[in-house]
Structure 1
Amino acid sequence: MDQEATPSQPARTEHPERTASPAGHAEKVSRVELRHLRALVAIVDEGTFTDAALTLGVSQAAVSRSLAAFEQALGVRLLRRTSREVAPTPAGLRVLERARRTLAEVDGLVRTATAGSDGLRLGYAWSALGRHTAAFHRRWAATHPGADLRLVRVNAPTAGLAEGACDLAVVRRAPADRRFGTAVVGEERRVCALAADDPLARRRAVRLADLAARTLLVDRRTGTTTADLWPVESRPVTEETLDVDDWLTAIAGGRGVGVTAESTAHQYPRPGVVYRPVRDAEPVAVRLLWWRADPHPAAPDVIALLTALYADD
């Protein structure tokens, strides 16, 4: 053990057709601040400098200075003021659209960076925690009432951790990337998913040898089973599927069989598909994954709770 006076005239006249040099462009960028964008958006939305100041919680002079500095930095006039209204110039309209998008992106960035401070996003690729999912939700809520728990499904090798979609992730194969820390919290037996009318579905359990002549449906990105589970001389033919829904649909249609952790059977009961234990297949380790350089503070509590749940099996 992820400020005063009215806007001043800009220093240069607007020339839409003029292309700035790279150095000039970089200088403009370095002089633009978020307060400039917020001032422009507030003035347009509220209609006056006075109301914009109230919305932003600053003085009217501060709004005026921010707009003047923005126009000075860009070298264009953004707003036209008359005795009756404040209206964007053509350049102002173009900048306004980008300013709104930029502010929304910044807000999203802040929400993402602070998501772990008041909640926990737990990623998974296929089957969450199987039959332990509901119990984990309830126990977490009881012991961490101020930390909202959300389960996030991302069909990726790190179940969304590398993509920034979650704070911690439940995976069922060891990560090759050393940027991630991992802890085994439990084990699950392997089961075979078969079409309901498959002759093997009449059995209470199957063996690997029973499946050697079948087509094995696999998800190479996140699946727990490959042909390597069989001896070299009796490995089944494999066919790749896109995700768990595609996998189940293919199995129900008789295109092949699948071998997976038993949590899949609990998470995805499907008409036309039955699950049978595979007697001689090694179990699947269930792991919690986190960023090694920036471990989430909830990781120890999650490990302890999951370990306790799986120990009750």
Structure 2
Amino acid sequence: MAWELRHIRTLVAIAEAGSFTDAAIALGISQAQVSRTLGALEQHWDVRLVRRGPREAALTAQGQQAVRRGRHLLALAEQMEAETRGQQRLRLGYAWAAVGRHTRAMQRSWVERQPGVALTLIRGTGPLAGLSEGLVDAAIVRTPPPQGRFDSALVGLERRVASFPAEDPWASRRRLRMADFTDRAVLVDSQSGTTSPALWPAEQRPDTAAEVDSVDAWLDAITAGVGIGVSSEATAHQHQRAGVLYRVISDAPPVQVRLVWHRGEHSQTIAALQRLLTELYAESDQH
């Protein structure tokens, strides 16, 4: 058997959905098909990519590496197909979460406003979610982009949330404060994260528990009790996992959400997306 794009698409769907059941729903196929397709890929490559559990599926180290490269492969395939058909397409990259609770509204509004341009969300890697490599046309980021090659626009602000195991003493609390982290250890994303101990005043600064390089590794570390996570509220909307809780940090500085593109390539399509995102975040601020 030679592996095909459908095998990679299935693996990526499992990684993003967190379970075979949800991956099957996202792909529009049966759970049995998802299991067979993944099993065939693992057998062909002679490697275990996903650890099966009763309620969720977790990527192995080899699986995480395959997913990162697989997303790039799928993005390139979509780009080739669109160019061959002469379709207009805007590829929007994101590293951890797209635009959180605004993602569905963005997609639906885009179809109404720009029916001739397909908006494709692509989960990339690195601080610019694939923009540096040319895998996307623009990207949603939550850290300032490097100056020189890129331009960006602030489209909204998001609250910071803490993430921790369900059995943690914080589980009974509805909100947290920055001072609560003094005796805790915080996970740091070395690739595209928004949080490091420097976020806190020196007298309140928590320790670093470990460094991670993806949201999957971040969630795995939280589930295992390695440390506490701090991220944008968009992560809580897009990455729910059994046994992991999220709470708002009431006095934390907000996270800036920026739309980034290559300098000199601020097309009418990117400008339209910038307006739409700014409107969606502005509307949520009013409620």
TM-score (norm: length of structure 2):
0.68
Are 1:201 and 2:171 counterparts?
yes
Q: 2:145 and 2:87 mapped to 1: Cα distance?
A: 26
Question: Which residue pairs with 2:17 in the alignment?
Answer: none
Q: Residue 311 of structure 1 is aligned with which of 279, 282, 286?
A: 282
Whether contact under 8 Å (2:82, 2:89) holds in the other structure is no
Question: Which residue pairs with 2:214 in the alignment?
Answer: 243
| 1:255-310 C-alpha deviation (Å, 9 max, x unpaired) | 11011000000000111110000011100010000111233331110011001111
Structure with more strand by fraction: 2
Q: Residue 192 of structure 2 is aligned with which of 216, 222, 246?
A: 222
Q: Secondary structure at the match of 1:298?
A: helix
Q: 2:126 and 2:149 mapped to 1: Cα distance?
A: 16
How do 1:110-129 residues align onto structure 2 when only pairs under 5 Å count?
Answer: 111=80, 114=83, 118-129=88-99
Q: Residue 183 of structure 1 is aligned with which of 153, 163, 169?
A: 153
Q: Residue 141 of structure 2 is aligned with which of 140, 153, 171?
A: 171
Question: Which residue pairs with 1:148 in the alignment?
Answer: 118
| 1:122-147 C-alpha deviation (Å, 9 max, x unpaired) | 00000001011111111101111111
Deviation at 1:114, TM superposition (A): 4.8
Question: Which residue pairs with 1:273 in the alignment?
Answer: 244
Q: 1:221 and 1:229 mapped to 2: Cα distance?
A: 16
Read off the aligned partner of 2:224 and give its amino acid letter: G
Are 1:261 and 2:220 counterparts?
no
Q: Secondary structure at the match of 2:176?
A: coil
Deviation at 1:159, TM superposition (A): 1.2
Read off the aligned partner of 1:154 and give its amino acid letter: G
Whether contact under 8 Å (2:181, 2:204) holds in the other structure is no
Are 1:297 and 2:268 counterparts?
yes
- Relative to structure 1, the CA distance from residue 291 to residue 117 in structure 2 (aligned partners, 3 Å threshold; closer, same or farther) is farther
Whether contact under 8 Å (1:167, 1:296) holds in the other structure is no
Question: Which residue pairs with 2:253 in the alignment?
Answer: 282
- Relative to structure 1, the CA distance from residue 121 to residue 203 in structure 2 (aligned partners, 3 Å threshold; closer, same or farther) is same
Identity %: 49
Deviation at 1:113, TM superposition (A): 9.9
Whether contact under 8 Å (2:82, 2:88) holds in the other structure is no
Whether contact under 8 Å (2:221, 2:227) holds in the other structure is yes
Deviation at 1:178, TM superposition (A): 2.0
Q: Secondary structure at the match of 2:183?
A: coil
Q: 2:80 and 2:263 mapped to 1: Cα distance?
A: 22
Q: Residue 131 of structure 1 is aligned with which of 92, 101, 104?
A: 101
TM-score (norm: length of structure 1):
0.63
Q: How many matched pairs?
A: 207
- Relative to structure 1, the CA distance from residue 286 to residue 112 in structure 2 (aligned partners, 3 Å threshold; closer, same or farther) is farther
Whether contact under 8 Å (2:156, 2:258) holds in the other structure is yes
Gaps of 5+ in 1: 1-106
Whether contact under 8 Å (2:91, 2:138) holds in the other structure is yes
RMSD: 2.2
* Higher Cα radius of gyration: 1
Deviation at 1:112, TM superposition (A): 8.8
Are 1:213 and 2:213 counterparts?
no
Read off the aligned partner of 1:220 and give its amino acid letter: S
Q: 1:242 and 1:121 mapped to 2: Cα distance?
A: 23
